[in-house]
């Protein structure tokens, strides 16, 4: 990621329009800002959410609330709680998210 041509700005996430993205179970609600090639999102997963795909996009992800379970295609699983993050490069390790209790995430990709 290379950040260029982005002037200083403040985002009030509650004012950013929300879009719903159904999972295999539950729904992910995204609030998205685009800054050139960089996408920044506040994402809320409903309780019981399970992604409907294996993601190969790189991210830096921070859990703000709830609990997130991330499964890698090789079978490894990771549980993240508030204040924990992960990072993964594009096409490095396919991953998918789920949560029993719901989660709020801040994601840069």
* Confidence (pLDDT) at 67: 98
* Confidence (pLDDT) at 2: 76
* Confidence (pLDDT) at 3: 81
* Confidence (pLDDT) at 55: 95
Three-class SS of 32-78: EEEECCEEEEEEEECCCEECCCCECCCEEEEEEEECEEEEECCCCEE
H or E segment and range at residue 94: none
The parts of the chain modelled with pLDDT lower than 70 are 1
Per cent of the chain over pLDDT 90 is 92
Q: Please tell me the pTM assigned to this model.
A: 0.93
Give the domain ranges of the chain: 18-108
* Confidence (pLDDT) at 4: 85
- Give the CA radius of gyration of the chain: 14
Domain 18-108 CATH (choose: 3.40.1360.10, 3.30.70.360, 3.30.70.60, 2.60.120.10)? 2.60.120.10
* Confidence (pLDDT) at 87: 96
């Amino acid at each position: 990621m290379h950040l260029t041509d982005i002037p200083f700005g403040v985002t009030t996430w509650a004012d950013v329009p929300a879009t719903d993205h159904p999972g295999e179970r539950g729904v992910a609600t995204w609030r998205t800002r685009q800054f050139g090639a960089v996408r920044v999102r506040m994402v809320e997963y409903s309780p019981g959410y399970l992604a409907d795909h294996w993601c190969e996009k790189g991210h830096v992800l921070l859990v703000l609330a709830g609990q997130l379970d991330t499964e890698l295609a090789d079978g490894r699983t990771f549980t993240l709680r508030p204040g924990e993050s992960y990072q993964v490069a594009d096409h490095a390790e396919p991953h998918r998210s789920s949560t029993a209790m719901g989660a709020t995430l801040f994601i840069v990709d």
